[in-house]
C-alpha cells in the first residue's frame, strides 16, 4: 500500500525487513524517531529487544554484545553520538562483528547547530576510529532508498562481518515521501556466526590469530589478518557498487554529490553531468574514474568543507573544484551561486 513514510521510519522498517531484532540507542536529534519506533516495536513484539542506553558508548557496545549473542542489532545516532561510538566501531572491526550504525548527520563540530542538516561526518565515517579498517557505508537520498539500504546494510554486515554504517542527514531523515514499502524487494542474508553459549571461542579486541589467541607482538599474524579482512571487504563492497550516473555530452563538467545535496541539485541534470555514490565507502575507484573520463572539470558539491572532495581528488589524481554548502543551508540557489563563482568567475 502506498503511504507517506518518513526517511527515519523507512530506515527502521528496512532494518526490520532485514531481520533486525535488537536496538540500543541514546536519544539525539535528528535520529530519535528511529529509537522511538524501536521502543514501540519492542513493546508490541517480545522477540524484539530494546535498550535505551545511558550514553552512546553503551549503545554501541550493546549492539556488539547483542550481535555476539546472535541478534541482528543496530543503533541510530547523530554527529556527537557517532563520535562516541567510534571506539566501538574500531572494536567491531578488530573482532569482526556484524552490526549496523545509522548516523543522521547534523551541523558540527560538537553540539553544533542542532539540528540543521549537514554531511560533516564523511571523513569520520571512514577514518574515525583508531587503526586501519575498511568500513562499508551507504548514503541513501530518498525514503525508498532509506528502506532499501538499511536492509542492505544488514546483509553487507553479515557478509563482511563488520559494523556497516548508514549515513543520512537531517533532511533525508525527516523527508516524507509516498512509497509502497511492501513492494520494495530486498535481499536478506541470514546470520552466520553461532551465538555465545555454543563454543569455547575468545572474542578479543587484541590482535589475534585464527583461534582467537592474542598475538600482540607478531607482525606477520597481524598483516595476514589485515589483508584477509581487507580482501573480504573489497569483495563485499563490489557486490554493492551502487551509484547513479547521468551522462551529459553537452558539458565539460561533472558534478559529484550524494545524499540530500544530490536531491537538491537534481534539476542541474540538463546543464551538467551528475555522479552520485550510494555505497559511499569504500571509495568508488574504477567507477568514479570511468564516469569522470571525458569531463574536464570535476566539481564536488557537499554540505561540508570539502571532506569528500579531497578523497575524490586523491582517487582521480586530478584537481577537484569544491563547493561547500555550510551552516545547514542546502538549496539550489546556493549550489548555482557556487557554480557560477567557481566555474564562470574562477574564484578560489
Partner 1 sequence: MFKDLLKLERFPTTWCPGCGIGQIMIQLAMVMDELGLNYTNCTIISGVGCTGRLAGYMNVDGVYTLHGRTLPVAEAVKLVTPSLKVIVVSGDGDLASIGGNHLFHAARRNPDLTVLCNNNQVYGLTGGQAGPTTPRDTPTVSSPAGAHYDPVDLQNLIKAGAKYFYAKTTVYHQLHLRNCVREAVAWPGFAFVDIISQCIENNGRRLGFNSAYEMLLHFRKTYKRAPEGAETLEPYEIGIVRQG
Q: Which of 212, 244, 248, 253 touches partner 1 (CB under 8 A)? A: 212
Tell me if 76 sits within 8 A of 102, measured CB to CB: yes
Q: Which of 19, 29, 39, 58 touches partner 1 (CB under 8 A)? A: 58
Q: Which of 15, 18, 64, 136 touches partner 1 (CB under 8 A)? A: 64
* Footprint of partner 1 on 7-26 (CB under 8 A): 21-22, 24
49 binds partner 1 (CB under 8 A): yes
**Which of the stretches 48-56, 179-187, 281-289, 306-314 binds partner 1 when contact is defined by CB under 8 A?**
48-56
114 binds partner 1 (CB under 8 A): no
202 binds partner 1 (CB under 8 A): yes
Q: 332-344: buried (b, 16+ CB within 10 Å) or exposed (e) per residue?
A: eebbeebbeebbe
| Cβ contacts of 240 within 8 Å, gap of 6 or more | 136, 138, 152, 156, 279
d(CA 152, CA 160): 12
β-strands 113-117, 163-169 pairing:
unpaired
59 binds partner 1 (CB under 8 A): yes
Nearest to 164 by CA among 281, 307, 311: 281
* Footprint of partner 1 on 228-267 (CB under 8 A): none
**Which of the stretches 29-37, 118-126, 210-218, 280-288 binds partner 1 when contact is defined by CB under 8 A?**
210-218
57 binds partner 1 (CB under 8 A): yes
Nearest to 81 by CA among 30, 39, 46, 37: 30
190 binds partner 1 (CB under 8 A): no
Q: Give the distance from CA 134 to its chain's centroid.
A: 12
Q: Which of 27, 109, 199, 267 touches partner 1 (CB under 8 A)? A: 199
Nearer to partner 1, 59 or 265 (CB): 59
Q: 107-125: buried (b, 16+ CB within 10 Å) or exposed (e) per residue?
A: bbeeebebbbbbbbbbebb
Tell me if 57 sits within 8 A of 84, measured CB to CB: yes
How far, in Å, are 72, 134, 178, 252 from residue 125 at the CA level? 21, 10, 30, 31
Q: Which of 189, 205, 287, 313 touches partner 1 (CB under 8 A)? A: 205
For residues 81 to 100, the per-residue mask of contacts with partner 1, x marking binding by CB under 8 A and - elsewhere, is ------xx--x---------
Give the footprint of partner 1 on this chain (CB under 8 A): 21-22, 24, 49, 51, 53-55, 57-59, 61-66, 68-71, 73, 87-88, 91, 195-206, 212-214
Amino acid at each position: 500500500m502506498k503511504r507517506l513514510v518518513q526517511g527515519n521510519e523507512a530506515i527502521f522498517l528496512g532494518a526490520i525487513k532485514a531481520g533486525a531484532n535488537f536496538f540500543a540507542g541514546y536519544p539525539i536529534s535528528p535520529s530519535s524517531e528511529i529509537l522511538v519506533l524501536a521502543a514501540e516495536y519492542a513493546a508490541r513484539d517480545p522477540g524484539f529487544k530494546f535498550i535505551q542506553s545511558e550514553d552512546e558508548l553503551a549503545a554501541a557496545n550493546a549492539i556488539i554484545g547483542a550481535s555476539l549473542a546472535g541478534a541482528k542489532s543496530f543503533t541510530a545516532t547523530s554527529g556527537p553520538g557517532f563520535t562516541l561510538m567510534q571506539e566501538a566501531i574500531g572494536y567491531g572491526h578488530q573482532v569482526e562483528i556484524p552490526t549496523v550504525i545509522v548516523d543522521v548527520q547534523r551541523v558540527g563540530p560538537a553540539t553544533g547547530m542542532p539540528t540543521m542538516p549537514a554531511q560533516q561526518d564523511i571523513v569520520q565515517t571512514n577514518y574515525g576510529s583508531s587503526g586501519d579498517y575498511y568500513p562499508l557505508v551507504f548514503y541513501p537520498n530518498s525514503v525508498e532508498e532509506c528502506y532499501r539500504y538499511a536492509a542492505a546494510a544488514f546483509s553487507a554486515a553479515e557478509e563482511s562481518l563488520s559494523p556497516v554504517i548508514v549515513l543520512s542527514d537531517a533532511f533525508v531523515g525527516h523527508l516524507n515521501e509516498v512509497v509502497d514499502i511492501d513492494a520494495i524487494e530486498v535481499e536478506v542474508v541470514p546470520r552466520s556466526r553461532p551465538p555465545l553459549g555454543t563454543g569455547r571461542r575468545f572474542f578479543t579486541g587484541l590482535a589475534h590469530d585464527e583461534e582467537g589467541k592474542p598475538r600482540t607482538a607478531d607482525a606477520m599474524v597481524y598483516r595476514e589478518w589485515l589483508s584477509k579482512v581487507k580482501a573480504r571487504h573489497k569483495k563485499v563492497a563490489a557486490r554493492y557498487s551502487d551509484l547513479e550516473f547521468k551522462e551529459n555530452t553537452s558539458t565539460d563538467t561533472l558534478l559529484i554529490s550524494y545524499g540530500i545535496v544530490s536531491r537538491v541539485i537534481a534539476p542541474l541534470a540538463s546543464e551538467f553531468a551528475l555522479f552520485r555514490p550510494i555505497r559511499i565507502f569504500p571509495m568508488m575507484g574504477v567507477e568514479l574514474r570511468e564516469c569522470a573520463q571525458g569531463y574536464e572539470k570535476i566539481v564536488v558539491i557537499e554540505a561540508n568543507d570539502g571532506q569528500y572532495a579531497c578523497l575524490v581528488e586523491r582517487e582521480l589524481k586530478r584537481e577537484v573544484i569544491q563547493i561547500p554548502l555550510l551552516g545547514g543551508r542546502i538549496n539550489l540557489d546556493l549550489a548555482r551561486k557556487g557554480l557560477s563563482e567557481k566555474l564562470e568567475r574562477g574564484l578560489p
